[in-house]
Amino acid sequence: MNYQVSFLALLLLAPPPSATRAEDLPVSPAAVPGGTNAPASTAPRPPRRLEAEELCTLLAGALNQRAGTDGGEWELRLTRSWAPLNVPDQPLKVDIIEPALSHVKATSILRFELRAGGQLLGSWQMPVQARLWRDVLVTHSNLQRGLPLKEAPLVHERCDTLALRDPLCDMPANAAAYELAESLPAGSPLLAHSLRLRPVVARGQIADAVVTDGVMVISLKVEVLEEGVPGQMIRVRNYQSRRELRGKVQDEHTIAIPL
């Protein structure tokens, strides 16, 4: 009996269980208007503005990618105002449709497409002023025509090669065989037409002429009437008969006379 009274007393004295209110329960994001179960980091980001400076960087990067490591470095400037464009806040890519890389001039009109991820944002065309920077050989001082190339003081400088009308010239492997074909002022880029092979025979020189007819070879002395490089046809004069002939320069001592 006493045990029953004690048990009933405990039940009467124990505090009632706390009630759980609806407002205390966790709320599922899906139950909130506009809520999402996706992590907060994957929520769409607001768009940003594509300014002219970034567009120039994208266009130049597309040209540099086409040119590869030996194509120099492109620099572009828009020559028409660009209205800032709202674009997705994602990495952007430019594909230049026209013109081909070899047809991009100092002033050109580029037609291009703009993409954000896999999404095509549209196509535009913009006039640009282009520069193509390369390290080229330039003269360090005034140089005279006929100077051997190996003796020419040349230095490498960064130059806009689109401004040049004629092709550039790199240092040939056999530099000793070349000389300047024209006088050049200091700071001039070395162009292909600025070099020529050094003559190996000079006017007034006495050389050996060889006339070949089958197995028969005739040798005679000739006077060189004009300077020439190997492979060049020049005028010579038979030293004894004084008859004028034409022959091909073989080397600094020999002229081949065709029959």
Q: Is the residue at 23 inside a domain?
A: no
Q: Of 147, 156, 237, 231, which Cα lies nearest the Cα of 194?
A: 147
The pLDDT of residue 71: 72
Please report, for the domain that includes residue 188, its CATH number: 3.90.1210.10
The pLDDT of residue 8: 47
Rounded to two decimals, the pTM is: 0.65
Q: Is the residue at 160 inside a domain?
A: yes
Query: Among the listed ranges 65-74, 138-147, 185-194, 234-243, which one has the minimum average pLDDT value?
Result: 65-74
Q: Of 158, 198, 163, which Cα lies nearest the Cα of 178?
A: 198
For residues 117 and 145, membership in a common domain is answered with no
Host domain of residue 159:
134-197
Q: What is the pLDDT of residues 89-128, one digit of tens each?
A: 999 999 999 999 989 999 999 999 999 988 999 999 999 9
Task: Answer yes or no: is pLDDT of 186 > 60.
Answer: yes
Helix (H, G, I), strand (E, B) or coil at 151: helix
The whole-number average pLDDT for the span 196-211 is 92
Task: Answer yes or no: is pLDDT of 203 > 90.
Answer: yes
Higher pLDDT, 45 or 146: 146
CA-to-CA dists, residue 177 to 43, 140, 169, 198, 201, angstroms: 69, 21, 15, 6, 13
The pLDDT of residue 217: 86
| Cis previous bond, 99, omega within 30 | yes
Q: Is the residue at 181 inside a domain?
A: yes
Burial class (CB in 10 A: 0-12, 13-18, 19+), 118: exposed
- Find out whether 124 and 114 touch, Cβ atoms under 8 Å: yes
For residues 112 and 54, membership in a common domain is answered with yes
Residue type, position 204, single letter:
G
Q: Is the residue at 81 inside a domain?
A: yes
Radius of gyration over every alpha carbon of the chain, rounded to an integer in angstroms: 41
Mean pLDDT, the chain, as a whole number?
Answer: 85
Q: How many domains does the chain have?
A: 3
- Find out whether 225 and 209 touch, Cβ atoms under 8 Å: no
For residues 123 and 151, membership in a common domain is answered with no
Q: What is the pLDDT of residues 11-64, one digit of tens each?
A: 455 555 554 554 555 555 544 554 455 555 566 678 899 999 999 999 999 999
